Amino acid sequence: MKSRVINTKHLIESSEGYLGYTSKLKPSLFYGNPDLEGVAWLQDRHTNKMSYWKLLKDEEIDGLRTWIYVPTEKFVKKFPNLKGKTFTVKFDLVQETRFAKKKRAQAGERKK
């Protein structure tokens, strides 16, 4: 499995948390399959410490597919500054390669 680590230098930071666009992030991390891509590790650019985030919601906001991740309770206890924060991924670019289509199709097969 590919490393699902994202450095926060690639994200927009706000008081609510982090925002990332698929066009700016590692292309292989976000094909659109929540079963395979439902977790992520974020590495803080200031401290180099890593935290584990799980997918909370998959919804459409402003016409873009949007995934919202939250940190796990273990990492909120370890890093209290993460309390109430979210990591939002907006799919402004969706890969249309053969491999990406296969990954998205795998999600549909599992649900049947």
CB 6 within 8 A of CB 76: no
**What is the C-alpha separation between 28 and 97, in angstroms, rounded?**
11
Interacting residues of 26 by C-beta distance below 8 A, sequence separation 6+: 6
Whether 67 shows a pLDDT value over 90: the answer reads yes
Q: Which residues of 33-43 are buried (b: 16+ CB within 10 A; e: fewer)?
A: beebbeebebe
Alpha-carbon separation of residue 30 from 2, 85, 105, 109 (angstroms): 11, 20, 14, 18
Give the pLDDT of residue 99: 59
Answer yes or no: is pLDDT of 2 > 70: no
Query: Is a pLDDT exceeding 70 seen at residue 103?
Result: no
pLDDT band at 31 (very low <50, low <70, confident <90, very high): confident
Tokens 């590495």 belong to 43
